[in-house]
Chains A and B, each alone.
Chain A
Amino acid sequence: MTSSPLEMVVIGGGLVGSTLAWGLARAGLQTTVLDGADLDPRASRANFALVWVQGKGVGKPAYALWSKASAERWPQLAAALLEDTGIDVSLNQNGGFSFALDPLELETWQAEMQDIVRETNGRAAPFEVLSGAETRDRLPFVGPDVVGSIYSPLDGHVNALRLFRALHMGMKKRNVDYRAGYPIERIEPVRDGFRLTGPKGTLVAQRIVLAAGLDNNRLAEMVGLHAPMKRSKGQILVTEKCAPFFDYTSATMRQTDEGGVMIGDSEETHTAAHATNQDISAVLANRAVRTFPVLGDLNIVRSWTGQRVKPLDGLPIYEQSAAHPGAFIAVCHSGVTLAANHALVVAPQIAAGALSHGLAAFGSQRFHASQTA
Chain B
Amino acid sequence: MLRRLREVTDPVTFSFDGCPVTAERGDTLAAALLAGGIDTIRHSVVGDQPRAPYCLMGVCFECLVTVDGVQNRQSCLMEVRDGMVVASQRGGRQVLQGNR
List chain A positions with a Cβ less than 8 A from chain B. 141, 240-243, 245, 259, 294-295, 297-299
Tally of A-B residue pairs with Cβ under 8 A?
Answer: 34
Q: Which residues from B are CB-within-8-Å of A298?
A: 93, 95
- CB contacts under 8 Å to A, within B79-98, are 91-96
**A297-B70 Cα distance, complex, nearest whole Å:** 8
Contact between A294 and B95, CB atoms less than 8 A apart: yes
Given known contacts A259-B45, A297-B70, A297-B71, A240 and B93 CB-to-CB distance under 8 angstroms: yes
Contact between A242 and B94, CB atoms less than 8 A apart: yes
Q: Is the interface of A mostly helix, strand, loop or mixed?
A: loop
Q: Which of B70, B92, B93 has the most CB of A within 10 A?
A: B93
Q: State how many angstroms separate the Cβ of B48 from the closest Cβ of chain A.
A: 12
**A170-B100 Cα distance, complex, nearest whole Å:** 41
Q: Is the interface of B mostly helix, strand, loop or mixed?
A: loop
Listed from nearest, the 4 A-B pairs whose CB atoms lie closest are: A241-B92, A259-B92, A242-B93, A245-B95
**A77-B95 Cα distance, complex, nearest whole Å:** 32
Contact between A242 and B92, CB atoms less than 8 A apart: yes
Q: Does B72 sit within 8 A of A, measured CB to CB?
A: yes
Q: Does B9 sit within 8 A of A, measured CB to CB?
A: no
Contact between A243 and B94, CB atoms less than 8 A apart: yes
**A294-B97 Cα distance, complex, nearest whole Å:** 9
User: Could you list some 17 contacts between A and B, CB below 8 A?
Assistant: A141-B95, A240-B72, A240-B92, A241-B45, A241-B92, A242-B92, A242-B93, A242-B94, A242-B95, A243-B92, A294-B95, A294-B96, A295-B95, A297-B99, A298-B93, A298-B95, A299-B72
Q: Which residue of B lies closest to A293 (CB)?
A: B99
Q: State how many angstroms separate the Cβ of B62 from the closest Cβ of chain A.
A: 14
Contact between A243 and B99, CB atoms less than 8 A apart: no
**A50-B22 Cα distance, complex, nearest whole Å:** 50
Q: Which residues from A are CB-within-8-Å of B91?
A: 243
Contact between B99 and A294, CB atoms less than 8 A apart: yes
